[in-house]
Amino acid sequence: MTRLLALESSCDETSAAVVSGSPDAPQLESLVILSQDVHRIFGGVVPEIASREHLTSVVPVTQQALRDAGRTFDDIDAIAVTHAPGLVGALLVGVSYAKALGHALGKPVLGIHHMEGHLFATALEHPLATPPFTALLVSGGHTLLLDVEAWGRYRLLGETRDDAAGEAFDKTAKLMGLPYPGGKHIEAIAAQGEPGRFRFSKPMLNAGQKLGDADYYDFSFSGLKTAVLLAVRGSDDLERDRPHIARAFQDTLIATLVAKTMRAAKAHGRQRIVLGGGVACNRTLAAAMATAAQEFGGTVFAPSPRLATDNAAMIGAAGLFRYAQGQRDGAALNAHSGLPIPGLVAADAPSR
């Protein structure tokens, strides 16, 4: 049995967790997430402020996670920390603290890829959310469609060519005068909207696309954002139209995510679909995905909001796998703003 202290500081959440067990049966002993509220005032994350806030909170957040788990530094085997991708100054706070702790305690440190963390998050709550599965990771910074053949063996099938799905929610919310981050506000007002009052075309999705086409699995959301902008500008009563526009935006975006995810699941013969990232908090998305999956007997696993958005528990869960694989990083571990997810194989690589 391995027990890890995990740290996450890639964006605007300072988070620490204690996770133990094995990669296929991770146990969450504690999780502390401190969300930096200050960015709300600026309508987006301000990198310099994020770094400073991480610096203030990383020690108390870690101490609280250990206290909540009833553990001390003596009880942990290693420290898992997000080292990429993200805001480099923000990542550096977690990485530097992890390395200092590792040095002082004589324990190994493991750099974990943030998106691999999102892949593992759901397994903390759903024992069946283990490979093989189709994964859709939708956050403020990323939109990735992956085939997960096994832990550590990932086929990147599609990604966004412009805005991430969460970014599209946030920018659309801003256009409509809603607070940041906008995803949950759009979902709430869309629930009051009437379907079909506004119609937007589904971006990068048409029936003529075939497997092997460059746009078969990829996403694009910036055109949809422009369509919303035009609808907002063209409205003579935004108070009346806002819920209907939000509804049309959300329906269109979700229809695209669902259609491409189903393509991937069918092409690879996967029965399980795992959602991750902040946009996976969207209940309408999870429900639409579940309905579509039912058609071929598939099951959809979505994490609870606490594990869908950025958190250290998912870094600990991915850390258990990487620790079992023998990964150990030393003082040379560094933060990287962009780095491909480890374990990528070519999309057409043969199955093992």
Q: Which residues bind Zn ion (CB under 5 A)?
A: 139, 310
What are residue 194's phi and psi, to 5 degrees?
-95, 130
Phi/psi-derived region of residue 111, left when phi > 0, alpha when psi is between -120 and 50, beta in every other case: beta
By CB under 6 A, is residue 122 in contact with ligand KG4?
no
Q: Among Zn ion, ligand KG4, none, what binds residue 26 when CB lies within 5 to 8 Å by partner kind?
A: none
Per-residue tokens: 279: 């946009």
Contact (CB, 8 A) for 39 and 54: no
By CB under 6 A, is residue 82 in contact with ligand KG4?
no
Type of residue at 143: T
By CB under 6 A, is residue 251 in contact with ligand KG4?
no
* Among positions 21, 89, 131, 166, the unique one binding ligand KG4 when judged by CB under 6 A: 166
* Among positions 53, 241, 310, 329, the unique one binding ligand KG4 when judged by CB under 6 A: 310
Burial of 234 (0-12, 13-18, 19+ CB in 10 A): exposed
Per-residue tokens: 111: 């750099």
Per-residue burial over 96-106, b if 16 or more Cβ lie within 10 Å, else e, is bbbbebbeeee
Q: Least CB distance from residue 56 to Zn ion, whole Å?
A: 21
Contact (CB, 8 A) for 12 and 36: yes
Q: Count CA within 13 A, CB hemisphere, residue 167.
A: 14
* Among positions 34, 145, 231, 279, the unique one binding ligand KG4 when judged by CB under 6 A: 279
Contact (CB, 8 A) for 161 and 218: yes
Contact (CB, 8 A) for 78 and 6: no
Per-residue tokens: 10: 């890639």
Angle value at C-alpha 135, between 130 and 136, nearest 5 degrees = 145
Instruction: Name the residue among 285, 312, 298, 162 with its Cα closest to residue 222.
Output: 162
By CB under 6 A, is residue 169 in contact with ligand KG4?
yes
By CB under 6 A, is residue 184 in contact with ligand KG4?
yes
Tell me the three state secondary structure of residue 67.
Answer: helix
Q: Among ligand KG4, Zn ion, none, what binds residue 131 when CB lies within 5 to 8 Å by partner kind?
A: none
* Among positions 182, 243, 303, 316, the unique one binding ligand KG4 when judged by CB under 6 A: 182
Q: Which residues, at least 6 apart from 171, have a Cβ–Cβ distance to it below 8 Å?
A: 163, 182, 225
Q: Least CB distance from residue 47 to ligand KG4, whole Å?
A: 13
Q: Least CB distance from residue 330 to ligand KG4, whole Å?
A: 27
Q: Least CB distance from residue 83 to Zn ion, whole Å?
A: 14
* Among positions 26, 85, 141, 203, the unique one binding ligand KG4 when judged by CB under 6 A: 141
* Among positions 122, 139, 160, 256, the unique one binding ligand KG4 when judged by CB under 6 A: 139
* Among positions 4, 7, 11, 81, the unique one binding ligand KG4 when judged by CB under 6 A: 11
Q: Least CB distance from residue 273 to ligand KG4, whole Å?
A: 17
Size of the site for ligand KG4 (CB under 6 A): 19
By CB under 6 A, is residue 281 in contact with ligand KG4?
yes
By CB under 6 A, is residue 277 in contact with ligand KG4?
yes
Q: Among ligand KG4, Zn ion, none, what binds residue 66 when CB lies within 5 to 8 Å by partner kind?
A: none
Residues within the interface to ligand KG4 (CB under 6 A): 11, 139-141, 166, 169-170, 181-184, 187, 277-279, 281-282, 309-310
